[in-house]
Amino acid sequence: MSNKEKALGKIVDLAEKNGLTIEDIAAYFVRNAPQTQQGSSSIVMKLLTYVGALFIFSGISAFVALLWDDLNSAARVIITFGPGLVALIMGLAALKDARYAKAATPLFLIAAFLEPAGLFVFLKEYFDGDDAALATMVVFAPLAAQMGLFFYAKRQTSLLFFTVIYGFAFFGAAMAKLDIDEDLVATVLGLSGLLISHAINKTPHRAFVPFSYFIAALCMATGAFSLLESIPPFDFLLIGLAALMIYASVVAQSRSFLVASVIVMLGYLGYYTEEYFADVTGWPLALIVMGMVMLGISSYAVKLGQKIQTRI
């Protein structure tokens, strides 16, 4: 018996002992194939694939736009919602085979855009009224539940991301429906986003947390500014909020949160400079002071960022 046959015999024995199938072994080789000189050509091929897909999608969209007025209501719903549902099903099917798992996220992304569009078209075609908040609630509530259930079953990070996005869209619309001040809505949603991001950051699904930290921080800071700027002297609480955000970013060990917090701090300082100090010592001098403060904060932010990186 040759050495090759002996090696194959050992592989078969190991596969039988561990319950591995031929498909499992093949999928492992696909995932862990060594990189060769074909790496650059593979990148070019992926780039051309994405560009080609973009052209195809644009062409189909343009074609639909040209025929839109000639379509009936059912056709409009099918042509918008249908491809999104098909993309979702294909994404779930791709997760069942390791060789196609990487295609799942782009398919879920397509579904995340087309399914809401199809439901909005459905509401417009078959229901009367102009209540945008109610329509948003009707669309995003079932979609959030759908993505949440699929995430629970598949544990895919992209599904969790869309669940969070749809959930925030629903709650934002619900608060608007209750006539809650939009600035308060932004503040509450931003703070909620920070807390949720902090919780998700402790899980294996933290890939999108830097993005959510950044957006949530800016959302909360913008809402707080709109609430407090018109009621002096409470607007001086903004500088405390910015300082608290910088401290929280260090505790959370998030550089994206830190960047957003520094942007907020500089924005608030710019507001104070123009509102209270521009006419006192002269605008040019105020600009110089503002520039010095920015340099100091930037230097401090760099040190904090380095500290965060070393902790990570």
Q: What is the pLDDT of residues 166-218, one digit of tens each?
A: 999 999 999 999 999 999 999 999 999 999 999 999 888 888 999 999 999 99
Structure tokens at 40: 């650059």
State the Cα–Cα distance between residues 115 and 107, nearest whole angstrom. 12
Q: At what angle do helices 283-311 and 237-252 cross, to 10 degrees?
A: 20
* pLDDT (0 to 100) of residue 216: 94
* pLDDT (0 to 100) of residue 37: 45
Structure tokens at 150: 């699929």
* pLDDT (0 to 100) of residue 187: 93
State the Cα–Cα distance between residues 271 and 276, nearest whole angstrom. 8
Low-confidence ranges of the chain (pLDDT < 50): 35-39
Q: Is 71 in a helix, a strand, or coil?
A: coil
* pLDDT (0 to 100) of residue 249: 87
Contacts of 239 (CB under 8 A, 6+ apart): 265, 268, 269, 272
* pLDDT (0 to 100) of residue 38: 47
* pLDDT (0 to 100) of residue 123: 93
State the Cα–Cα distance between residues 160 and 142, nearest whole angstrom. 15
* pLDDT (0 to 100) of residue 311: 56
Place of tokens 């042509």: 79
Q: Is 38 in a helix, a strand, or coil?
A: coil
